[in-house]
Structure 1
Amino acid sequence: MYAIAVNGSPRKGGNTEILLNRVLEPLASAGWETELVQVGGQKIRGCQACYKCFENMDGRCAMKNDVFNPVMEKLLRADALIFGSPTYFTDVSAEMKALLDRAGLVALANGRAFKGKIGAAVVAVRRGGATHVYDTINHMFLMNQMLIPGSVYWNMGYGRDKGEVEGDAEGLGNMKNLGQTIAWLGAAIKPHLDSFPALESVSE
């Protein structure tokens, strides 16, 4: 099985990246293929609501001049998506918001391609606002019929300066538990994904 962690922080090697790697460690130990992808600080535009993805239905966005489509290809292949973001004015980074909007829409346009995948949000925060970041990420997961595992607390780690989150023992322990839970859930659902309930038509 394959898990992808997407770092929405432009600060490489920072607190968000540290937390994401702590989630990936138990998955790698359980035999999963794991990958950390950097989106923060990269060129990625917001969704233009052109709806070409609904016309083309090729698993791609019509905008091809940024990092989105290569990342989307990995998201479609993954069994588990772990999105991490720092807290910017009580919300995700601009790059993470662009990824959420475009990936969520492209997935919906392609037969709800994220349906049945595992989705987890991870947040780095100095002091407050992390739960809103957590919700922003999970809202996309939920609308795409993804499965969101819990852990021993909300998936957040505290620290402002680079590496400061290493001192948050509770936060790091939560990330380890989250990785273990994703590994357990993945093993539990893998044999049954083909029988995931189909979306029925909705009438007013």
Structure 2
Amino acid sequence: MKVLTICGSPRPGGNTALALDEMENVFAEEGIDCERVTVGGRDIRGCIACGHCFEHGRCVFDDIVNEVAPKLAEADGLVVGAPVYYGSANGTVSAFLDRLFYSTGGQDKTMKVGAAFAVARRGGTSATYDELNKYFAISGMPIATGQYWNGVFGRERGEAAEDAEGMQQMRTLARNMAFLMKSVALGRERYGLPVKEPFQRTNFIR
């Protein structure tokens, strides 16, 4: 099994990366491969709703979003960690996720397991946690949970390691995610995936 982890922080070796390290150690213990992609320091523009991806199956901006799309297709689970900027995920990771999920709309993500966490100096983790989970929810992805709202505190590089509860949350989240991924794999083998009805799109009526 394989998990794709996304580091939304622009700081190499920062607190978001430390939290991912904690999760990836548990995945290794569980026999699950990990691949990390760091997007925080990349130049990623937002979606322009051009519709190119509908026609060509990839985003019109040929950058890291198109590089990650096939990795997502191969993964059994996706972890997104983001620092908190002004009470929400930093703009780079938001732009990345908007375009990644929109441009891979034709890629069936049903029952891929998603997990998210936020890192902050003090406030905004729960709002960012909610924000990130919406990408999974709209895509039919089960959301792995931990023992609290997944967040770690720390501002200066390395401070997250001092947040004992936060690091425990990361380990618990990874163990729960590993269990859920393995359970989904067993269920798929025995029962297959859920039957999907043709999508009924209802726009606002004038």
Fold equivalence (TM over 0.5): yes
Instruction: Decide which of 181, 190, 198 is 1:186's aligned counterpart.
Output: 181
Q: TM-score, normalised by structure 1?
A: 0.92
Residue pairs, 1:34-113, within 5 angstroms? 34-57=34-57, 60-64=58-62, 66-108=63-105, 110-111=106-107, 113=108
By how many angstroms is 1:197 displaced?
2.9
162-171 vs 69-78, which moves further: 69-78
**Is 2:172 the partner of 1:177?**
yes
Q: Tell me, in whole angstroms, the C-alpha distance in 2 between the residues paired with 1:27 and 1:200.
A: 36
1:115 counterpart SS class: coil
In the comparison of the two structures, how many residue pairs are matched? 199
Q: Tell me, in whole angstroms, the C-alpha distance in 1 between the residues paired with 2:201 and 2:133.
A: 26
In the alignment, what sits opposite 2:132? 137
By how many angstroms is 1:21 displaced?
1.5
Deviations 1:80-123 (A, max 9, x none): 10001000000111111111111121232x15x22211111111
- 8 Å CA contact retained: 1:53, 1:62: yes
Instruction: Decide which of 89, 113, 122 is 1:118's aligned counterpart.
Output: 113
- 8 Å CA contact retained: 2:3, 2:77: yes
Task: Supply the AA of the counterpart residue of 2:102.
Answer: L
1:132 counterpart SS class: helix
In the alignment, what sits opposite 1:200? 198
Task: Supply the AA of the counterpart residue of 2:162.
Answer: G
Q: CA distance change for structure 1 residues 201 and 155 in 2, over 3 Å: closer, same or farther? A: same
Q: CA distance change for structure 1 residues 203 and 127 in 2, over 3 Å: closer, same or farther? A: closer
Task: Supply the AA of the counterpart residue of 1:156.
Answer: G
1:179 counterpart SS class: helix
After superposition, the CA RMSD in angstroms is 1.4
Q: Tell me, in whole angstroms, the C-alpha distance in 1 between the residues paired with 2:70 and 2:47.
A: 17
2:85 counterpart SS class: coil
User: Structure 2 stretches of 5 or more lacking a match?
Assistant: none
By how many angstroms is 1:36 displaced?
1.5
Q: Tell me, in whole angstroms, the C-alpha distance in 2 between the residues paired with 1:201 and 1:130.
A: 33
Q: TM-score, normalised by structure 2?
A: 0.92
Q: CA distance change for structure 1 residues 173 and 79 in 2, over 3 Å: closer, same or farther? A: same
Runs of 4+ in 1 over 4 A off after TM superposition: none
Q: Tell me, in whole angstroms, the C-alpha distance in 1 between the residues paired with 2:22 and 2:186.
A: 27
Task: Supply the AA of the counterpart residue of 1:96.
Answer: V
